[in-house]
Amino acid sequence: MAQVTISINSREYAIACEDGQELRILQLSRILDEKAKLLTDGSTQISESMLLAMIGLLLADELSELKKNKGIPETDSKISNEKLQGIDDELADLIKNLNDKVKTLANEIKML
């Protein structure tokens, strides 16, 4: 079993995961960290348990909206592995394309 250290709201957590899942855990933790920054930006210190509850509510709201917009019934929380793999593949392609565009722009800026 592998272990990865994630950071959420400037706090580090050691997380155990299956071998090969380290990158996915880091990707997911970045989403949580972004939500934490969104919630804590410009506000007073929020307790860790309150922050966790608020992040959970934000993610639950986003998931609910996605299900509504995609026509997935609220009660049907099971999504096939094939569908998830397809979504992952699409996202990977989009990220690769975006990465290529950023590299191209960086090279163009260097030439200026």
CA–CA separation, 49 vs 26, rounded Å?
A: 21
Full 3-state SS string of 18-50? CCCCHHHHHHHHHHHHHHHHHHHCCCCCCCHHH
**pLDDT tens digits, the chain, 112 residues: what are they?**
899 999 988 889 999 999 999 999 999 999 999 888 888 876 667 788 888 888 888 899 888 888 888 755 555 556 677 777 778 878 888 888 777 787 777 777 777 6
**pLDDT of amino acid 102:** 76
Q: Are 74 and 64 in contact (CB under 8 A)?
A: yes
pLDDT of residue 3: 94
The amino acid occupying position 6 is: I
CA nearest neighbour of 28 among 4, 57, 49, 64: 4
Q: Looking at the whole model, is its pTM more than 0.95?
A: no
